Structure formats: structure tokens, C-alpha cells
Amino acid sequence: MKPWKRMRIHHKLGLSIFAFIMILVFVLEIIVYNVFTRFYVQQLADDMIHRGHSHATALQEHWSEETLRHVAEMESYSRYVVAVIDSRGEILISSQPLQPTQMEYVKNFDTVSEYEWVVRDWRRQPYLISQSSVLDGNGKLIGYVVMYASTTPIREAIYSLRTLMFLFSVVSLIIIFVLVFLFSNWISKPLVAMRNAVRKLTRNDYNFSLPISARDEIGELNQSIMELSGELKHYRTEREEFLAEISHELRTPITYIRGYADVLQQTSVKDEDRRKYLRFIREAADRLHRLIGDLYDMSKLDQVKVQIDKQEMDLVPFIRQMREEQMERFMEKGIDLQDDLPSTPVRVQADRNRLAQVIMNLLENARKYTPEGGSVRIRLSKEQREALIQIQDTGIGIPDSELPHIWRRFYRVEKSRSRDYGGAGLGLSIAKRIIELHDGTITVNSKEGIGTTFLIRLPLE
């Protein structure tokens, strides 16, 4: 069993198919051998019995010396030997001189009144023997016709058949062996290629290609492996970028905290400078705290089974409350924050805290990217079976080339990583994931110098 487990798949496949075909061939050969043997011997016996019956019928009609000679002459050139004996077992005539083994039967035969095949064992007996009764016009038994058929030709024919079948088996074995292993190599070639591809994947090597033109299961599996390779390559690249980004994001506030803490340890620092440095430390700590919170949220939302607490809620008072909570921050920067809400309830099933996290993130982005004197508007409406939340600002906008990437983690439009606007670049990624967990969608439309509009669609209650 162990050597079998260590064998290659194409060897296992080849041996399995080879064994199955050879067993099938051997079974068919056995069936053919038995059928041929029975048919051949039975045909010979039927012919012998039929001829003996014909002779007995002729003798019944004309029992005479002339008829006896005629019967003997008819079989003198055939493969059979005929002997006619009377009711007492005395030989009246035979087509050929009887051999001792043939005479033994005549001496010891049992009289019967029906046509019978009396010696059937062609494997061990030298002759097949049948006897046919001869009756007179009154139904009285007057003699027997005994037919002999040598079993030597039968054994020779069966031996020739065995030899032929043996040669056929050997040739078939060689041909099937070659064809099966060629076929198994051909059929297992894609599997070997898949195995090599998977091994490369385990070594983070994505430089391989599998044929996907076939429309069978092999082609589908190759397609899946290629897609898996692409996904793994993407995730590996994303992971490397993530680690680089997170290390940078963590290092920056920690550097600020350590640097200003070292300055504060000096006794010559003035009280005014001390307060300023403490404020810097607090801001860096707050930034670090927000980053850790975003990372925690992101790790929770990335789980396969995420539990969110959906409850029925009316978005109208919810949006109004969000605007009131953020109003002061917008007023400090000189930005007009407005809402446009319907007069009727807009009910959805949602996690109130998670949805608030999304709205606050989008409002904070709008506040950061909208200059003084600009405006931000929150609109709520219904469209068929969906609730629509629009957050529109008159800010600096996002370039068209950057729009497809803003949902990526740690992605910021500002290549200089300036802290004047953006944070760590996790907010939009988290927001998108939360909306997807609500079976909704979030999209963006933006023009540089004009503004940005985020559109959230949620299924209505």
C-alpha cells in the first residue's frame, strides 16, 4: 500500500486503467473459450448423433447385408467410425477395424432403447460415442448403430485456440500497456501542471500560466487556479503596501510624541512652549488613537461572518441629528452645512452606530476638502425601493484618474501625505464595507474645482 501511495498520479491512473482492461480481456477470453468449446463439441456430437440416427432409420426400413455394407461404406471416408451390432452385442459390420478402446465399449455397452450420446468426456476419453437403436416393423429391437468420433482433433483445436488466445493476450497486454500509459500521461499532464502551479503559489511565485481554452472541468479548474493566483498576487501586494503604510502611519505620531517628550524633559522650556508641545503630543496621540480605531474597525469588518445590529430606523430624524452634531465644526471653518429632508418618514433596516460612522466620515471629508465660504448639503430622498443619501460639497474635488482608487486602504489623493487634509486613508474603505453589509451601495461623482458628491443607496424597510 505504501508504494502505491508514493506513486505518481499518472502511474496510478495508468495501472488502474491497465488492470481494468486486462481483467476485462481475460474475462472475455474465458467466456469465448467456454462458449467456443461447448459449441464446437456440441456441433460435432449433434452431427455424429444425426448420422447415427440416419443409419439406424435406413436399417429399420431395409435390414439386409447390402444396407449394412452401404452404411459402412458411407462412413469409411468420414471422420467418424460406425459399427453395427445386433441385439446380443455381436459386431455385424464396421467402417474401419475397431481399436481395442472401441472394442471395450462394445463388450461393456448397456442396451438402451433411445438415441443417446453415451460417452461425452472429450478431455479424458479417446472417443465420443453415440448409439442408436434399430427396431423392426413390430417394434422389436434387432440391433444398434454405434458411432465413434476421435477426441484428438477436438483437443488439438482447443489447444490451438488456447495458443492463439495466449498470443492475443500477450500482444494485447503490450499494446494496451503502451496506449494506456500514453493516455494517462496525456490526461494527467494538466494535473501535473496544476500541481507545479500550486507549488509556485506556496513560494509566492506567480510567474506561470495554465491553459484555459478547454471548456471541461480541467479548463474550469485551470481558470480557478489562475484567478486564485491573481487574487493572491493582489492580496500579497496589498499586504506589503498595507504593512508599509501602517508602519509609516504609526511611526509618524510616535516620532512626534517621543520628540516633543524629549524637549519637555529639558528644564529650560518656557511655560508657553511647554503648553504648545503638550498640545502637539495630544494631537499626535489623538491621531494614533484614531488610526488604531480605524484598524480595529477594518479588521472586524473584514471577517467572513460580520454581525451588524440591524434595526428599523427613520432616516429623517437621524440625518437631522447628524447635521446638528456637526454644525459647530462647520461653522468654525466658515462652511454652510444644510440638509434637504422629506416630510414623510424614510424607514430602513440598519445598524444605527455603523451608519452614523459612515455619515460622520463623509461629512468630515467634506469639511476638510471644502474651503472657507463653501457649502455642504445633505439630501435624503426615495427612489423606487431604495433610500438615497447624498452628501454634496463645493470642495476641491477629486481628479478623474484618482476616483477608482479612493476606496483602497491607505489611499490618499495627496501624494505629499500632507496632514492638512487627509488622515490615514482608511475612512472610505471602512464606509464602503459598512454600506455593503447593509446590502447597499456607495458611489462618488467629482469634478476638480467644482466639488464632490457621495451617493448612498439603502434598501427601504
Q: Is 40 within 8 Å of 154 (Cβ atoms)? A: yes
Q: Which residues contact 190 (CB under 8 A, 6 or more apart)?
A: 210, 211, 218, 222
Q: What pLDDT score does 317 carry?
A: 93
The CA distance from 414 to 411, in Å, is 9
The CA distance from 120 to 130, in Å, is 9
Q: Quick one: what percent of the chain has pLDDT higher than 90?
A: 12
**Ordered domains of the chain (ranges, CATH):** 2-157 (3.30.450.20), 217-301 (1.10.287.130), 311-459 (3.30.565.10)
Q: What pLDDT score does 413 carry?
A: 61
pLDDT category at 416 given cuts 50, 70, 90 is very low
**pLDDT at residue 344 is higher than 60:** yes
User: Checking DSSP bridges between strand 386-393 and strand 451-459, what pairing results, if any?
Assistant: antiparallel
CA-only gyration radius of the chain, Å: 51
Which tens digit of pLDDT belongs to each residue from 190-208? 777 777 777 777 777 767 7
Q: Is 98 within 8 Å of 85 (Cβ atoms)? A: no
Q: What pLDDT score does 297 carry?
A: 67
**pLDDT at residue 420 is higher than 80:** no
Q: What pLDDT score does 213 carry?
A: 65
Please tell me which residue, 148 or 2, carries the higher pLDDT value.
148
Q: Is 378 within 8 Å of 321 (Cβ atoms)? A: no
**Among all chains, which residue has been given the C-alpha cell 498576487?**
233
**pLDDT at residue 86 is higher than 50:** yes
- Burial environment of residue 74 by CB neighbours within 10 A (0 to 12, 13 to 18, 19 or more): middle
What's the chain's average pLDDT?
A: 80
Q: Is 143 within 8 Å of 82 (Cβ atoms)? A: no
Q: What pLDDT score does 419 carry?
A: 45
How many other C-beta atoms can be found within 10 angstroms of the C-beta atom of residue 138?
6
How many other C-beta atoms can be found within 10 angstroms of the C-beta atom of residue 268?
5
Average pLDDT over residues 67-76: 87
- Burial environment of residue 206 by CB neighbours within 10 A (0 to 12, 13 to 18, 19 or more): middle
How many other C-beta atoms can be found within 10 angstroms of the C-beta atom of residue 105?
18
Average pLDDT over residues 98-114: 69
Q: Is 81 within 8 Å of 148 (Cβ atoms)? A: yes
Backbone angles phi, psi at 84, to 5 degrees: -110, 130
Q: Among 154-158, 220-224, 433-437, name the one with the lowest average pLDDT.
A: 220-224
**Residue 84 forms beta bridges with which residues?**
93, 145
Model confidence, pTM: 0.48
Please tell me which residue, 52 or 225, carries the higher pLDDT value.
52
Which tens digit of pLDDT belongs to each residue from 121-144? 888 888 888 888 888 877 788 888
Please tell me which residue, 1 or 244, carries the higher pLDDT value.
244
Q: What pLDDT score does 456 carry?
A: 92
